[in-house]
């Protein structure tokens, strides 16, 4: 009996030890769950943090890539967010020479340039034979304009027909532009009608350009027109011109590309880009570059807008 009682005591002691071990194990598990590390969970959390950090770095790089700091023709600096969905140009500006002695683009087998002028009644009577002899191959003529005063009267340019006959006789390729101050689609259609009525007797080698502009130093009827409306007017003009069998084109500059136009809506039309710096600042594709408003050309009295056409890859 003594022996049995000893065994019973030992068994009780072992059971007590086992219960204590179980209790300690449970406590340890609870503490680990509360304060410890779960390897799988920690790995997932580390991955989330790494992904988040990588995404932030990508966003910083994206923001840097999409922001363009540019200077406008009036000396004002602006920031533009570049829309990477809009076609970018492929020109190599290391091949461009643009000095007082002249302009050239050499060393890029993909493109060549041709020189041209754009003119209106403000240039007066032009000797187009001398313009051609001075190395200019094309002319973009103002066909008409709308006044920017409240009435917005629409006019054919007083020198258009004379310039058209003279430029074509001298052998220049000719395009035209309409200076627009249309505030809505109805007025845009009036401008289209003026263009088509005055082109019916001529053939064009170059496009018909739509030139909406804000008036910087005076009050204008378009001051309250939003960029969305300007874009709608431009698309309407271009589509009507295309329906009539002509190639439309859009006159633009950095301010318009940054803050006025929806450039995606204009993706089907060539751009005539104005920028008077040493190289064009726009990242977007363009075909014609108006590089100065202070050109001097033999056969034209006073200063004149001068341009280049980039010929080559589509």
Mean pLDDT over each residue of the chain, to the nearest integer: 86
- State the pTM of this model: 0.80
Least confident of 3-7, 93-97, 224-228: 3-7
Token readout for 266 is 């204009």
| pLDDT value at residue 66 | 83
- Choice between 272 and 15, residue whose per-residue pLDDT is larger: 272
Q: Give pLDDT, residue 53.
A: 52
Going by C-alpha positions, the residue among 160, 168, 106, 103 that lies closest to residue 131 is 168
252: which 2 tokens?
A: 């633009």
What is residue 74's predicted lDDT score, i.e. its pLDDT? 83
Contact 232, 160 (CB under 8 A): no
Q: What is the pLDDT of residues 100-146, one digit of tens each?
A: 999 999 999 999 999 999 999 999 999 999 999 999 999 999 999 99
Q: How many residues does the chain have?
A: 314
What is the pLDDT confidence band of residue 24, given thresholds at 50, 70 and 90? low
Q: Do the Cβ atoms of 242 and 174 come closer than 8 Å? A: no
- Predicted local confidence at residue 216, as pLDDT: 86
Question: Cβ distance 309 to 293 under 8 Å?
Answer: no
pLDDT digits (tens, 9 = 90+) for 181-191: 999 999 999 99
At 7 the pLDDT is 45
């Amino acid at each position: 009996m003594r022996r049995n009682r000893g065994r019973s005591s030992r068994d009780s002691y072992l059971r007590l030890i086992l219960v204590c071990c179980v209790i300690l194990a449970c406590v340890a598990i609870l503490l680990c769950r509360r304060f410890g590390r779960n390897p799988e969970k920690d790995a997932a959390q580390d991955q989330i943090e790494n992904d988040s950090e990588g995404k932030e770095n990508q966003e910083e790089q994206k923001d840097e890539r999409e922001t363009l700091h540019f200077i406008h023709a009036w000396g004002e600096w602006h920031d533009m967010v570049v829309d990477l969905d809009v076609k970018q140009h492929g020109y190599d500006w290391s091949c461009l020479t643009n000095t007082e002695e002249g302009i050239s683009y050499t060393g890029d087998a993909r493109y060549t340039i041709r020189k041209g002028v754009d003119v209106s009644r403000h240039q007066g009577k032009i000797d187009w034979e001398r313009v051609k002899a001075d190395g200019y191959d094309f002319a973009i003529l103002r066909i008409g304009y709308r006044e920017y005063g409240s009435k917005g009267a629409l006019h054919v340019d007083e020198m258009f027909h004379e310039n058209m006959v003279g430029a074509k006789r001298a052998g220049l390729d000719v395009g035209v532009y309409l200076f627009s101050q249309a505030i809505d689609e109805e007025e845009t259609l009036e401008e289209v009608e003026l263009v088509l009525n005055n082109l019916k007797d001529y053939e064009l080698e170059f496009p018909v350009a739509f030139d909406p502009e804000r008036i910087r130093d005076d009050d204008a009827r378009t001051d309250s027109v939003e960029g969305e409306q300007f874009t709608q007017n431009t698309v309407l003009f271009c589509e009507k011109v295309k329906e009539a069998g002509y190639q439309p084109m859009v006159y633009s500059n950095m301010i318009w590309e940054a803050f006025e136009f929806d450039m995606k809506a204009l993706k089907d039309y060539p751009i005539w880009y104005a920028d008077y710096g040493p190289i064009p600042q726009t990242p977007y594709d363009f075909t014609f570059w108006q590089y100065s408003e202070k050109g001097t050309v033999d056969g034209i009295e006073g200063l004149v807008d001068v341009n280049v056409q980039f010929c080559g890859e589509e």
